[in-house]
Amino acid sequence: MPTPPTTEDTPRKRDKTHYLYLAVIVAVALGILVGFLFPGFAKGLKPLGDGFVNLIKMMITPIIFCTIVIGVGSVAKAAKVGKVGLMALFYFIIMSTFALAIGLVVGNILHPGTGLHLNPADVKSVQKSAGGAEGPVDFLLGIIPKTLVSAFTEGEVLQTLLVALLVGFALQKLGPKGTPILRGIEHIQRLVFRILAMIMWAAPVGAFGAIAAVVGATGWAALKSLAVIMIGFYATCLVFVFVILGIVLWLGARVYIWHLLRYLGREFLLILSTSSSESALPRLIAKMEHVGVSKSVVGITVPTGYSFNLDGTAIYLTMATLFIAAAQDAPLSIGAQIGLLAFMIIASKGAAGVSGSGIATLASGLQSHRPELVNGVGFILGIDRFMSEARALTNFAGNAVATVLIGNWTKEFDREKAQRVFAGHDPFDEATMLDDDAHGAKTEPEAEKIPV
C-alpha cells in the first residue's frame, strides 16, 4: 500500500508574483532609460505612476477599517487596546524626536546649501502645493469625520482609524450578538485583499511611468547642484535604519534588523518604484500578522504609525530647512533650530506617508518661523521626488520595527512563528495576503531555526 505524500513531498504552488517584482525592476530600468533619451515624451508618462498610486490609495481606508475592527472587536477587554495605543504613541514621539535631532546634527555638519547664494525671487511660488499651516486644534478637529462614511469617501487615514475604533469597541459591547458582524467584516477583508492582489499586477506600468517622468523632468543638472544634501540625507537614513533602529529592535525584541528588512524586501521595492510608503501599507499589515504579531497590535500600531511615526520625514524636514536657509544666505541660529525642531515634532505628526506631503509640512514650518524663506522651498523641489523615496523607505522601516517592538512588549509576538517565517519555512501567501493559521501553529518542527 503506497504511503500518502508528506508535506515535504507535495509540490509547492509556484509563486507567480516572483515574475511581477522582476517586471517592476525591469520597468524601473526602462523608465530611467526613456527619461534620459526622450525627456519630453517621458514627462507625459507621469499619469501612469499617479494612476497606480491612486489605485493603491483607493484600497487604504477599507483595509485599515477591516483590520482595526477585526483586531479591536476580537479583543475581550477595551483596556488592552488603550494600552497598545498609548505605548505606540509614546514610542512614536520618542523616535520621531530622535530622528529630528539627528537631522539637525547632520545638517550642521554638512552645511548643505552653503555658497549657492540663491535668490528666492527666481523661484516660482510653491504655495499651491504647500497649502496653509495647520494648527494643533484644527488638526485634532480634523480627525473627526463629517459623517460616519465620509472618512472612507475622502480617504482620510486618521478619520478612518477613529471610525474603525468606534465600530470595534461597539462590537465588543455587543458580545456574542456582534459575532456575525465581525465574521462578515472578515469576509469583506478577504475580498479587499483579493482586489489589492489584482491591482498589484499594474505595478510595472506605474513604476515605469513614475520613474520616466521624474528623470525626464529633472535630468542630471539638478542632481549635480544638490548632490550634497541628497547624499547626506540618504546616508543619514541608512545609518538611522541599520544602526539606530537595528539596536532598538535587538534590545527591545531580540530581532535582527536585517532579517526583518529582508522579509519585507518586496514592499521596499514597491515603495522605491512609487515613492509612497502608503502603497505598501496593506501588505505591511498582512505581513506583520503573518510574522507573528497579533491582529489587535497590528491593527492599532501600523495605521497609527503611518500618521505619527514618520522618522524619514522628520530627518528630511530638518535637513531641508537648514539647506533652504543656507542657500539663501540666511542660516538659522542654534536657538532657532531648536524652536523649529519643537514645531516639527508636532507638524510631522500630521504628514501622511504620500509623496509630496513633506513639502507641505516643510513650507508650514518655515511659514511659522521664517516666513521670508518659504519661497525657497522651490529650490528643493527638483530633487524632492528622489528624496521622497528615502523618506518613504525610512518611514516604512520605522513602522515595521515599531510593530514588532509593541507586539513583543505587550506579549503579542510569536517568536517561534517569526523564526519559521524568517527562515523561509512558512512563506507568506501572496495570493490571499491572509494568514489563516493561528500564530504559534507548529509547522515543520524539524526545520532549522535561525535567530530572529
Summarize pLDDT for 192-229 with one digit per residue, the tens. Answer: 878 877 887 887 888 788 778 767 776 665 445 567 77
| Spatial separation of the C-alpha atoms in residues 119 and 121, rounded to whole Å | 5
Cell output for 119: 535668490
Cβ-based neighbours of 317, under 8 Å, separated by 6 or more: 100, 103, 344, 347, 348, 358, 361, 362, 365
What would you measure as the largest C-alpha separation in the chain, in angstroms?
87
Which candidate, 377, 452, 388, places its Cα nearest to that of 420?
452
pLDDT greater at residue 44 or residue 1: 44
Contact call for residues 300 and 88 (beta carbons, < 8 A): yes
The helix or strand, by DSSP H or E, that contains position 80, with its residue range, turns out to be helix 78-110
Four-point Cα dihedral 20, 23, 28, 29, nearest 10: 160
| Spatial separation of the C-alpha atoms in residues 198 and 200, rounded to whole Å | 5
| Spatial separation of the C-alpha atoms in residues 117 and 233, rounded to whole Å | 21
Which candidate, 385, 357, 391, 392, places its Cα nearest to that of 277?
392
> Average per-residue pLDDT in the chain?
75
pLDDT greater at residue 237 or residue 139: 237
Burial code (b: 16+ CB inside 10 Å, e: under 16) for 2-11 equals eeeeeeeeee
Mapped onto helix, strand or coil, the DSSP state of residue 398 is helix
pLDDT of 398 strictly over 80: yes
Complete domains list, the chain, with CATH: 17-422 (1.10.3860.10)
Angle at 382 between CA 25 and CA 363, to 5 degrees: 115
Cell output for 165: 475604533
Burial of 375 (0-12, 13-18, 19+ CB in 10 A): buried
* Helix, strand and coil percent figures for the chain, each rounded to 5: 75, 0, 25
pLDDT of 79 strictly over 50: yes
Task: Give the lowest-confidence range in 87-101, 173-187, 287-301, 346-360.
Answer: 346-360
Q: Residue 360's pLDDT is what?
A: 59
| Spatial separation of the C-alpha atoms in residues 439 and 290, rounded to whole Å | 8
Q: Residue 443's pLDDT is what?
A: 38
Mean pLDDT of the 76-102 span: 78
What is this structure's pTM? 0.65
| Spatial separation of the C-alpha atoms in residues 204 and 8, rounded to whole Å | 34
| Spatial separation of the C-alpha atoms in residues 57 and 368, rounded to whole Å | 30
Q: Residue 219's pLDDT is what?
A: 61
pLDDT of 178 strictly over 80: yes
User: What is the percent of the chain where pLDDT is above 70?
Assistant: 70
* Dihedral pair phi/psi, residue 450, rounded to 5°: -120, 150
